[in-house]
Structure 1
Amino acid sequence: MSAESTPEPGIPEPGASSPRRRGKGRRRKAPSGRRKALLVTAWTAAGIVVLGGTGAGYLYFKLNGNLRSVDIDQALGGQRRPEKVDNGSENILVLGSDTRSGSNRKLGGGTDDGSARSDTAMVVHVYKGHKKASVVSIPRDTLINRPACTDTHGTAHPAASGVMFNSAYSTGGAACAVKTVESLSGIRMDHYLEVDFSGFQQLIDDLGGVTVTTTKSIADPDSHLHLKAGEHTLTGKQALGLVRTRHGVGDGSDLGRIQLQQAFVKALVDQVKQIGVLSSPKKLFSLADTATKTVTTDSDLGSVNSLMDFADGLKGIGSSHMKMVTMPVRYDPADPNRVIIAKTKAKQVWTALKNDRPIPASATEDTATGQAKGVVSAS
């Protein structure tokens, strides 16, 4: 038996008979309205909090009251988890959620019952010394064996085989998403950050837009994005369209969308690092207010002081010191609208991060990519 065919926890066999959620249509089919990705990184929310958290008294309590947190360690306390690695590094699971309640409802798509999905997931590994980071995107269409977990309300959820990765969040929220990522990677998540749909759009508008360059025109009626080739300062609505778009870019798959998201993140990180030159207290507070309303954190980061300390450890990491990859996958031969983990190569990625080492280039060679690399870049 080859290394690629050796069964591993959390990874279903290609073509296995276990129940799976099958996609309809071909890989290039545009997604339904509810399957919309959004993306923000730890640096975005945390960096803005540092800037806006300079006030005292009322401002501090106002920002502190905005924050929402979930006690993931308590929810998963009685369950088997990877041990924490005491080597000076940190691992953060960053999720984008598309809750359809409240202000998110007017953004369209999905359901109106207040349920939520996770369409974007990244593992952010901050290396010892906090001077550089690696970011691993996990495609939501990846077929996995989801582990049993208990959510933050104490409800137990059974394991499931051959299901999409993003079913973890819709099944058991943040705790089950963390448990699933830890099962796949073998790495303990030190922190959790989640950003909601409408908050992402408002955050970009409060920033004054994010500047990117497109090497070719993008026209996607499903995400309502129309950009000619060239430099653009994206509004919140355009930025949301960019991180959602997949139709007409690359091979039309979710992997191509991830490549657009990764390019946008680099532009966003650089934009946030420049906010320090602003002199308007009102604008800085507006940014901090939006950021703290937008994020949900683990309980360890659930206060302005904690988030400020966390952000202070990230502020030296610019886009040039970030390596962004997609978890190695290949298209499922039984369903081209789904992907399966390339186990040997994925293990290279996770082993490197566990040992606080750079991800080897060989880990992402000859894997499914989405063919959208280079379409968008930071200006």
Structure 2
Amino acid sequence: MARRKAEPDQPDAPRPGPPTRTRRILFLTRLGLALLVVTTAAAASLLYARLDGNIRTDEEAARALAADHASRPKALVPKAQNILLLGSDLESVKDSERSDTTILLHLSADRRSAAAVSVPRDLMVKIPSCLQSDGGRSRAQYSQFNWAFQFGGAACAIRTFENLTGIRVDHHLVVSFTGFEEVIDAIGGVEVDVTEPVSEPEYGVTLQPGHQLVKGKEALTFVRTRVGVSDGSDLQRIERQKQFVRSLYDKLSDTGTLRNPTRLWPLLDAATSALTADPGLESPGELFELMSSAGNIPSDQVKIVTLPCVEDPDRWGNYQMVKGQGQALLRALREDKPLPDHLYNAYQPDGRPKV
């Protein structure tokens, strides 16, 4: 008896799909997510382009430093970073430009510690011959530190600093008075302790004693004014600047701004509009990386000090470096080692305020 051929397997009947309403919801959800991704990417691209367009690159300083590269010191610890922050007084002086404030920001190679070192503007130093914008060269001379910027711009200030310290400057940033105000306003101001009245007639600002939040011209008055305050010295002004830098860093760290992209971008917008940067920091990404690295360092691992100095016996109102302690500090920075525990401060000798 012949066997019947086995019937081929019959395909399963198609399962009914989700209801039309469900399919529509899924489609709209996927479309919405796709549009969100595209919109976010476009917004980020536009924001990045805006930040990138804000930054002014210090090409002149780059050319001058390249011309004198043979005389610059070598970096002993390549992964450590030394950034020289220069506050320009162009808006005040009008006919010249000097570095009203100079602070070295040192980030350790492991990014576990940092140091901010203030250099007095009236410190007497050897200023080298520097390439000028017209192609000529300035005369090498012994003068106060902030004159270097006037002789040859940021490049001359950098080379003067390097000659004094033996520290290779990896990057530099120049900020104007207006730029400083914009950055401080962008973070909502900084809280400071004012110990005596600080007045700046040029701005129409007088700060009364007490703990207070300062913004804009009030903040600039606090960090810049020296005439008519205490002994009128640059060192007493530096003490206020150090307090301001500490309060600024604590605020940025406590609020997580330096570690939060959504909070950091508005600050970068203000900072990039305010800064002139060297080619190595000319992009928002590079600045973001720098600020993020700084933001990851615990506050108690950030040292804020003044280059040890005393009054110059031959020049009233000027200073000279305390060789022993100054050299110890500079050696620690060059070798990326912990700073000395005690540093002499002519304004607060042995850590005690003058009386």
Change (3 A) 1:232 1:198: same
Q: Equivalent residues in 2 for 1:323-338 (5 A)?
A: 323-338=303-318
Among 15, 38, 56, the alignment partner of 2:44 is 56
Question: What letter corresponds to residue 75 of structure 1 in structure 2?
Answer: A
Q: Which residue of 1 aligns with 2:11?
A: none
Kept in 1, the 8 Å contact 2:75–2:334? The answer is: no
CA distance in 1, matches of 2:255, 2:147: 36
Q: Which residue of 2 aligns with 1:270?
A: 250
Question: What letter corresponds to residue 182 of structure 2 in structure 1?
Answer: Q
Q: Which residue of 2 aligns with 1:126?
A: 107
CA distance in 2, matches of 1:309, 1:61: 17
Decide which structure has the larger Cα Rg and report it.
2
Q: Which residue of 1 aligns with 2:90?
A: 99
Q: Which residue of 1 aligns with 2:320?
A: 340
Offset at residue 251 of structure 1 (A): 2.6
1:40-66 deviations in whole A, cap 9, x for unaligned? Answer: xxxxxxxxxxxxx99512211111001
Q: Which residue of 2 aligns with 1:85?
A: 76
Structure with the bigger RCO (C-alpha within 8 Å, sep 6+) is 1
Question: Aligned residues, how many?
Answer: 307
Q: Secondary structure at the match of 1:128?
A: coil
Q: Does 1:68 align with 2:20?
A: no
Offset at residue 142 of structure 1 (A): 1.0
CA distance in 2, matches of 1:288, 1:309: 11
Question: What letter corresponds to residue 181 of structure 1 in structure 2?
Answer: F
Kept in 2, the 8 Å contact 1:225–1:242? The answer is: no
Q: TM-score, normalised on structure 1? A: 0.73
Q: Which residue of 2 aligns with 1:355?
A: 335
Change (3 A) 1:221 1:92: closer
Offset at residue 222 of structure 1 (A): 4.8
Unpaired segments of 5 or more residues in structure 1?
A: 1-52, 101-108
Among 130, 137, 148, the alignment partner of 1:168 is 148
Offset at residue 130 of structure 1 (A): 0.9
Q: Does 1:179 align with 2:169?
A: no
Q: Secondary structure at the match of 2:90?
A: coil
Q: Equivalent residues in 2 for 1:308-327 (5 A)?
A: 308-327=288-307
Kept in 1, the 8 Å contact 2:268–2:288? The answer is: no
Kept in 2, the 8 Å contact 1:209–1:233? The answer is: yes
CA distance in 1, matches of 2:67, 2:230: 44
CA distance in 2, matches of 1:287, 1:169: 27
Q: Equivalent residues in 2 for 1:224-239 (5 A)?
A: 225-239=205-219
Q: Which residue of 2 aligns with 1:138?
A: 119
Q: Does 1:217 align with 2:206?
A: no
Kept in 1, the 8 Å contact 2:138–2:151? The answer is: no
CA distance in 1, matches of 2:294, 2:193: 25
Q: TM-score, normalised on structure 2? A: 0.78
CA distance in 2, matches of 1:91, 1:284: 22
CA distance in 2, matches of 1:94, 1:54: 33
Offset at residue 169 of structure 1 (A): 0.7
RMSD between aligned residues = 2.9
Change (3 A) 1:91 1:259: same
